[in-house]
Every structure is written in C-alpha cells, then in structure tokens.
Amino acid sequence: MAEIILKTLAHTYSANPQSPDDYAIRHMEHVWHQGGAYALLGPSGCGKSTLLNIISGLLEPSEGDVLFDGQRVNELPPEERNIAQVFQFPVIYDTMTVFDNLAFPLRNMNTPEHRVKNKVLDVADILDLTELLKRKAKGLTADEKQKVSMGRGLVRDDVSAILFDEPLTVIDPQLKWKLRRKLKEIHQRFNITMIYVTHDQLEASTFADKIAVMYEGQMVQFGTPQELFETPAHTFVGYFIGSPGMNLFAVRYEAGEAWFGDIALTLPSKVTRAIAQASSRNIKVGIRPEFITVHANPREGALVARKRRLQDLGTYAILTFELGNELFKARLPEDHAAYGDEVYLEFEPEHIGLYIDEYRVGVPCE
Ligand SMILES: Nc1ncnc2c1ncn2[C@@H]1O[C@H](COP(=O)(O)OP(=O)(O)OP(=O)(O)O)[C@@H](O)[C@H]1O
C-alpha cells in the first residue's frame, strides 16, 4: 500500500540556482492517495518526468520530502521503494523469452519457482500475453514489448504504485485505446496507485479519475476531467484542456465597466465589481468556446465581432471571430445560422471565469 505525499518539494538541475526559472519543480505540495488512477498532464518540459523520477527514486529532490505511508524515502533507492516504472520505450531483455522477462523481478527476489510460474501465468493472462510466453522478446511488436514491460511491474506482489511515463508513445494509434483499456482493467483489479504521465488530454481523461495539470514546474490544478473543463483553476488549464481551449480576454476597469481594449464587455455585475476591486493589473476574463452564443443579427447587450472563419466539423462547427485585433473561438451546433461578416455574441454568465495573476478567483454572489 502506498499513499505518496510530496512535501514542500522542489528540484533544480542547476548547481547554483538563481531564480524560479532554474527549477524544474518549483514548490509543490501534493498527496497521491492509495489506489487512485491519476494522470500527470502538461506540455513538454513542464517537469513531469522529473517529478516521476523523484517519486520512483531515480532522482533525489533538491528540497522538500517524499513520504510513502508517512515514511520519508528521499534517500531510498528505487529497488527499495516497491514502485514499478514503465518508460516510453519498453525496458525488456531481448534475448530472454516473454516468460523469463516476466519472471525476472520475482526470481531476483528469490521467489520459489512454483509461485513465479503462477504469477507469470496470471499476469500474462491479464495482458493477453499467454500465447507469446515461449517467444523470444526480440521478435515482438512494440505494443507487445510494452505489455511485457508493464507485466514486469505487475508480477511483484509488493508493488504498491506503478508510474507510467508516456507509455504509449511508441504504440500504433489503433492499438493505443486497447492498451489504455487494459490499464484501466488492471487498475480496477489490483488495488494499485497508478500515475500516468502524458501530454495528451484525451489519454489523461480516459485513464484517470483525477488529473494533475503541470505547468512550468508547478501543479496548477488537481481535479476530475469535468472540473478541469468547467472550472479551470489557472489560465493555462483553460487553454490546455478543451478543444479549442478557453478564450481569455485581458481586461481593465474604467468608468464603471470592464474593458477589453476599447470594447466594453457586458459581464455580470458581480464580475465587474470583482475586477474593480482587484489589486493586480493582470486580470483576465475566460469563457470556453462552448459557452458563447452567436447570433447572426444585432441584439441588445451582444458584443459585435468580425467573422474570420467558419469550420464545419460534422456534428459541430468552430467559428473564429476577431475582437479588438485578437482572434477567439466559439463552438456552434451543427444547425447553426448563416452569418454575415459581423456576428453578435453573448457569453453565458454562469460560465464566465475571472483570473487574477493567472489564477481563477471566486466571484462573490450578489
Ligand atoms: N538531466 C537534466 N539536466 C538538466 N536539465 C534537465 C534534465 N532533465 C530535465 N531537465 C530540464 O528540466 C525541465 C523539466 O524537464 P522534464 O523532462 O521533467 O519535463 P517533461 O514535462 O517530462 O518533458 P517531456 O514531456 O518533454 O519529457 C526542462 O526544462 C528540462 O530541460
């Protein structure tokens, strides 16, 4: 069993760090609960692999602590942590058979051979590898090799967490969904904490119950896929999750209104009030493309924008519009109206988010 706690964690690869930019992991506090299916999602270079390597013990953090079930493990090597790690590229022994590859971690621990056999057969069955047990690993396809790699993590009874570092990168697209489903099955069957690193939001939301979004070495939100979509806690989450991402308008308060450039935005009065009271000048209003209603004809209170592009995508359409020399998007139903050069926009008030210094702030009710 393992509850993994990260306490005031930070990591730098620099011998002489001068600024937050020198840190691959900037201050992080987090709890991975026992038995959870988690994804660690973020763009290239945000620190995902660094964090995973700190958890598995391949890296010792520069600052802070890693606790497994309350015990500090900072200096414990990977083999003493009861954690398995599956990498982008399968780590297996090509000259051994599939059976011997799967048996390897158990034989390493001097497990009696009858138990090795039972466990290997069991895991091979789960991963659909039974037919391949006598084959040399060398001749396997990439997805078969990756399954063997996963199986080596699963055979050990003492493994309490499996860390996956973009494990489907080398897998053909049509096989990816199969392996993802397999992982879900494995998670349901064994009570194992799984942390799955990816930069693909679809992969994250199909695998995980909860997703940790990383950005510039920080965990900017930890929540269900629905929470990340409906209430992004940081502008980056708004932009990164969803297709297309959230529209963000840099605004300021003047003469009783919220202005985006020289355009007065029609916002709920509580949002305008919160903008007026903000102490920072970095204020943004966010609205997802799904929550903008687009009219073909003028109507009171609607924003006037220029239509730039309309893409029909089968069951929905994406309208790109221009407002204050910037481009934004709205998602339209299949049976949308025909539009002229100008469109008239309304934002669904309950889906408007307010971001100060890039973080979402709650807007007090009226
Ligand atoms: N061994 C290293 N030495 C120096 N800097 C490193 C090292 N490994 C990673 N970094 C830097 O640390 C930061 C985080 O890298 P990391 O590999 O953890 O990100 P990532 O989110 O896993 O990216 P990717 O998805 O591309 O693997 C990056 O700026 C990277 O250049």
- Helix, coil or strand: residue 285: strand
In the reported structure, the alpha carbon of residue 119 is separated from the centroid of ligand 1 by a whole-number distance in angstroms of: 36
48 lines ligand 1 (CB under 6 A): yes
Residue 366's pLDDT is 43
CATH of 248-361, one of 3.30.930.10, 2.40.50.100, 2.40.50.140, 2.30.30.110: 2.40.50.140
Q: What is the ipTM of this complex?
A: 0.97
Q: Whose CA is nearest to atom 12 of ligand 1?
A: 24
42 lines ligand 1 (CB under 6 A): yes
Residue 19's pLDDT is 94
Q: Whose CA is nearest to atom 18 of ligand 1?
A: 47
Domain 4-240, second-level architecture: 3-Layer(aba) Sandwich (3.40)
123 lines ligand 1 (CB under 6 A): no
Q: Which of 9, 16, 46 to mutate to test the pocket of ligand 1 (most atoms within 8 A of CB)?
A: 46
| Mean pLDDT for back-to-back runs of 10 residues, the chain (366 residues) | 91 95 96 95 94 95 96 91 88 94 94 95 92 95 90 85 89 82 84 91 91 97 96 96 96 96 93 95 97 96 96 96 96 94 96 97 68
> Which strand ranges, in their side-by-side order, compose the sheet holding 247-250?
247-250, 283-287, 353-356, 359-361
In the reported structure, the alpha carbon of residue 41 is separated from the centroid of ligand 1 by a whole-number distance in angstroms of: 14
Residue 252's pLDDT is 97
In the reported structure, the alpha carbon of residue 147 is separated from the centroid of ligand 1 by a whole-number distance in angstroms of: 26
Nearest Cα neighbor of 182 from 198, 201, 168 is 168
Fold agreement (4-240, 248-361): no
In the reported structure, the alpha carbon of residue 63 is separated from the centroid of ligand 1 by a whole-number distance in angstroms of: 17
Residue 192's pLDDT is 87
49 lines ligand 1 (CB under 6 A): yes
Name the pTM for this structure: 0.90
How far apart CA 314 and CA 201 sit, in angstroms, is 22
Helices 142-154 and 98-108, axial angle in degrees (round to 10): 20
Q: Can you give the residue ranges of every domain in the chain?
A: 4-240, 248-361
Q: pLDDT of 68-119, one tens digit each?
A: 999 999 999 988 888 988 888 888 999 999 999 999 999 998 999 999 999 9
Residue 363's pLDDT is 74
Residue 1's pLDDT is 61
